[in-house]
Amino acid sequence: MGTIVDRNQLVEEMQIGHSTLTKYISQGLPYVDRGGSGRLATFDLEACKQWRQERYGKTADDDESMQQARLRKLQAEASLAELELQKSHGQVIPIEDVAEELADLFSKIKSQLLALPVITAGLVYGKETVREIQAIIDEQIRIVLIELSSKYIKEEEQEKEDELTRDIKQELSQ
């Protein structure tokens, strides 16, 4: 005979719940003393483990792995539900949307930067000082940056930026 344990110890040693133990007992789990009349039921731990192994092909490690797998599944489901909630509230967006938006932005940046030499060449032609040329180039760069950022700034800030852009364009046309 192996180690003798009571119900609570058996549940702990076999890493099962009390309802599972009750089910096992009804299916023929061996016991040393059924208990009753104030006596606790007792079990031969090794015989119980062997019974479960023969009947279910399970060990305590299998049950623990299964419990861990269930826990991981529950955690994944909870994370997915949280993500969906955040998505519905506009707190997260699909990476494909971000990639598309970035590709569009980089394309605009490229075209604006490539246009700078063409635009500034005519404006700086005939200017005599480095300071005048630098001021024109600086203004053109600022115009491009304002146009590029206009989609990503708040409306209030947008109005200020639009006003600044108009002022710069008016100065350049004079």
Q: What is the pLDDT of residues 24-59, one digit of tens each?
A: 999 999 999 888 888 888 999 999 999 988 888 765
First to last CA, the chain: 106
98-116 tens-digit pLDDT: 999 889 888 988 998 899 9
In this structure, the number of other CB atoms found within 10 A of the CB of residue 21 comes to 19
What single-letter DSSP state applies at residue 1? -
pLDDT at 61 over 90: no
User: CB neighbours of 40 closer than 8 A, spacing ≥ 6?
Assistant: 6, 7
Q: What is the pLDDT of residue 27?
A: 92
Q: Tokens at residue 37, please?
A: 């009349």
How sure is the predictor about 132, in pLDDT bands with cuts at 50, 70 and 90? very high
Q: What is the mean pLDDT of residues 142-164?
A: 73
Answering whether pTM is above 0.85, one says: no
Q: Tokens at residue 172, please?
A: 């350049």
Looking at the structure, give the CATH architecture of the domain made up of residues 4-58.
Orthogonal Bundle (1.10)
